[in-house]
Amino acid sequence: MRTAISFWLAMAGFLHAAALTFEKELLEIHAPADASSVVADFNFKNNTDKPVTIAKVDKACSCIGVQVSDGKLVYAPGEGGKIRATFDMGNFSGVIDKTVVLYLNNDPNEKPSVTLTVQVHIPVLIAISEKEKTLKWTTGAKPEPQKIDLKVEYAKPIKIISTSCTSENYKVELKTLEAGKHYEILVTPVDTKEQGLAIIRINTDCEIKRYQVLQAFCVIRAELPPVP
């Protein structure tokens, strides 16, 4: 009896989630370097024998705008529509995943029927390793210099024209290893007495506006306790 009930509940959940059938729940987009935004259309159809109502569409980030088939929210059996997600790329680069969740009528807040994912591949024109995007020191440690290595991966040269820091506690030195192609930034804290966060601003002469300013971070933090 218990097995039969469990099976019925599982099937009920499956049927509810399948009220609207999407062609794809993950869309992968390769964005041009000069694009400021990209659009992903998630096409769906009501494959049930009853009308389906979209109660709410929510998003995980303010960088995404969402539209539902010109505002239409009720779909008759056999009727189709689309969820359009517009992603504003801002200063993002690399592979970015953003989600949109779809609530059908009577969905609880904690359990939407569908989660849609936009995966955007954004060209990296100036490469900085993930480790060097955030430089870290421990409070009280010797203020050793650390470096940020920048390599241009664009067809045209890109020059680093200036650097600055939001905190006077850091000395920032720009070195040109190959003009337009390879640079190094040395960052040295004056002292490490206090915890804090600072932003290093890197200005370039890139012809594409969204790549004209890059950022890296400096963090002084307390030593983490040992893992037991």
Confidence of residue 226 (pLDDT cuts 50, 70, 90): low
Query: 126 near 204, Cβ under 8 Å?
Result: yes
Quickly list H helices, 85-227: 130-133
What mean pLDDT comes out for the span 191-204? 96
In the Cβ-directed half-sphere of 149, how many Cα atoms lie within 13 Å?
Answer: 5
Instruction: Grade residue 10 by pLDDT with cuts at 50, 70 and 90.
Output: very low
Provide the whole-model pTM: 0.73
List of domains in the chain: 19-122 (2.60.40.10), 126-221 (2.60.40.10)
Q: CA-CA distances (angstroms) from residue 35 to 38, 62, 93, 100, 134?
A: 7, 18, 12, 21, 26
Q: Which residue in 153, 32, 157, 24 sits closest to 89, CA to CA? A: 32
Instruction: Give the integer Cα–Cα distance in Å for 80 and 91.
Output: 35
Inter-residue contact 67 to 100 (CB < 8 Å): no
Region of residue 71 (left: phi > 0; alpha: psi -120 to 50; beta: else):
left
| pLDDT tens column, 19-40 | 899 999 999 999 999 999 999 9
